Amino acid sequence: MKTIFEKSVPGRQALSLPECDVPLYQLSPELLREKPLRFPEVAEIDLVRHYTALSKRAYGVDDGFYPLGSCTMKYNPKLNEEAANLPGFTGIHPLQEQKTLQGALKLMYTLGAKLAEITGMDQITLQPAAGAHGEYTALQLIRAYHLDHGNPQRNKIIVPDSAHGTNPASAAMNDYITVNIPSGPDGCVDLEALKAAVGEDTAALMLTNPNTVGIFDKNIRQIAQIVHDAGGLLYYDGANLNPIMGLIRPGDMGYDVVHLNLHKTFSTPHGGGGPGSGPVGCKAALAPYLPGPIVTEKDGVYSLTPGGDKSIGTVKTFYGNFLVMIKALAYIETLGAEGIRLAAQLAALNANYMMARLKGHFPAYSSDICMHEFVISCEKLKEEVGITALDFAKALIDRGIHPPTIYFPLIVHEALMFEPTETESKQTLDQACDTILELLREAKADPAAFKQHPVKMPIGRPDEVTAARKPILVYTPASS
């Protein structure tokens, strides 16, 4: 498909402006560009066709089943979009006087309070723009806390080998030394390895629970005790909150600080780099370091309070991605406490149903019961007929199913990690399982043909290594 620039014809336009009826203002020559900007010049119909064609090549939750593990690609109710589109929200400016922004401030205050309740934390900042940004912010809080308590030597962050890649990356971004600890055979934290790793230099343990293989680590209280006894803090990667929301709370498990992904758990559309939100919640001991401003309430009046003396400072322009907050609050309010709990339970039920149907056919990593996601492996299939997790993912694309997460977590070879989410029906799950089992038979019957997938897509199999190592991210026009 040609780019919009390649479709450009000099002089062609998608709009016609009325004749200018004010005097032309001449900019002085030093303010002018040397060469005109290169804009694509196309007619409206070409413009519409171009982007419609592109949109048809994209795949999202609204197109079909999207069981991408760890990413919680649940359906996003359209009502949330309606709410975020209300002119009272879209027409305001962050620098308006606070008394004219009471509704928006109340919304942020209410969302913060709900998230604090759901996570069992004392304070929330809504500023961070995504999960990794939340991790970064939380690690800054952890550093500020240790420095303030006279412990600059606490420069190590412990991360289990099953952790999401952003965890060690965020630690490195914050100049921490990452200490990896192995998981036990059940994917849970190896307590002996943890005891050996903690010490005077421990800043925190970053841990998600349920972990990335979809198993709830029952030793969480003991883990918290070990970390706290060593003087460290416990950090919850909240990307896996979906199966526990309304049921148990990180704050009650012993965590000191959490980040949430509103764009996963709280049904905000994501993928493709759209706006996200990664609020951070913390216990009172960490609250003095939170970024400002924070919304406070007194006698029914809401105001933006700057961060205190000890604040790590602002981490995002203004107050965070406000429209994402609206969608999250709309979701929480429409479900209510009961609905949130039910959504969590259905997320676990759906994952268990799918795992039960598949695990006789693929070795499953998870034990009897999983939480919101489960991991099966193509290792046996690879040994028998040479079909890998990647081959299987490519074949699923041809069948209109978004592939699961593959080769993650790293502790499982040839991993396929499915997270069906609570918004899928039994029919959809059954259809997906039937397709997967059919593909398994095809893979065994004719591995060479199977390796040709995908054959129905505009692009088949790009060279993955070159794509990862030498990505071409900038369009260079032929004539420049």
Determine the distance from the C-alpha atom of residue 268 to the mean position of all C-alpha atoms in its chain, rounded to a whole number.
10
The answer to whether residues 130 and 263 touch, using CB atoms and an 8 Å cutoff, is: yes
Per-residue contact track with ligand PLP, 187 to 216, x per CB under 6 A? ---------------------x--------
Residue of minimal CB distance from ligand PLP? 131
Tell me phi and psi for residue 392, to 5 degrees: -65, -40
- Minimum distance of ligand PLP from residue 432's CB (angstroms): 21
Region from 57-65, 233-241, 356-364, 431-439 binding ligand PLP, contact rule CB under 6 A: 233-241
The answer to whether residues 303 and 132 touch, using CB atoms and an 8 Å cutoff, is: no
Q: Report the interhelical angle of 322-358 vs 102-119 (nearest 10°).
A: 30
State yes or no: residue 239 binds ligand PLP (CB under 6 A): yes
- Of 274-303, binders to ligand PLP (CB under 6 A) are 276, 278
State yes or no: residue 232 binds ligand PLP (CB under 6 A): no
Say which residues have a Cβ less than 8 Å from residue 374's Cβ, sequence separation at least 6: 213, 214, 351, 352, 354, 355, 364, 365, 366, 417, 418
Residue with smaller CB distance to ligand PLP, 268 or 423: 268
Region from 24-32, 150-158, 234-242, 321-329 binding ligand PLP, contact rule CB under 6 A: 234-242
The answer to whether residues 39 and 7 touch, using CB atoms and an 8 Å cutoff, is: no
State yes or no: residue 132 binds ligand PLP (CB under 6 A): yes
* Interface residue with ligand PLP, options 143, 146, 154, 164 (CB under 6 A): 164
- Indicate the SS3 state at residue 428: helix
- Minimum distance of ligand PLP from residue 72's CB (angstroms): 7
Cα-Cα-Cα-Cα dihedral sign, residues 280, 348, 370, 164 = negative
The answer to whether residues 51 and 14 touch, using CB atoms and an 8 Å cutoff, is: no
Residue with smaller CB distance to ligand PLP, 276 or 320: 276
State yes or no: residue 168 binds ligand PLP (CB under 6 A): no
Number of residues located near ligand PLP, criterion CB under 6 A: 14
- Of 78-117, binders to ligand PLP (CB under 6 A) are none
Per-residue contact track with ligand PLP, 31 to 70, x per CB under 6 A? ---------------------------------------x
Say which residues have a Cβ less than 8 Å from residue 327's Cβ, sequence separation at least 6: 76, 80, 81, 83, 84, 262, 266, 267, 268
Residue with smaller CB distance to ligand PLP, 276 or 279: 276
The answer to whether residues 224 and 202 touch, using CB atoms and an 8 Å cutoff, is: no
State yes or no: residue 258 binds ligand PLP (CB under 6 A): no
Residues in the chain: 480
- Minimum distance of ligand PLP from residue 320's CB (angstroms): 13
- Minimum distance of ligand PLP from residue 263's CB (angstroms): 6
The answer to whether residues 311 and 291 touch, using CB atoms and an 8 Å cutoff, is: yes
Region from 47-55, 147-155, 235-243, 357-365 binding ligand PLP, contact rule CB under 6 A: 235-243
Sheet with 415-418, edge to edge strand ranges? 374-377, 415-418, 405-406
Region from 128-136, 426-434, 440-448, 458-466 binding ligand PLP, contact rule CB under 6 A: 128-136
Chain contacts with ligand PLP (rule: CB under 6 A): 70-71, 130-132, 164, 166, 208, 237, 239-240, 261, 276, 278
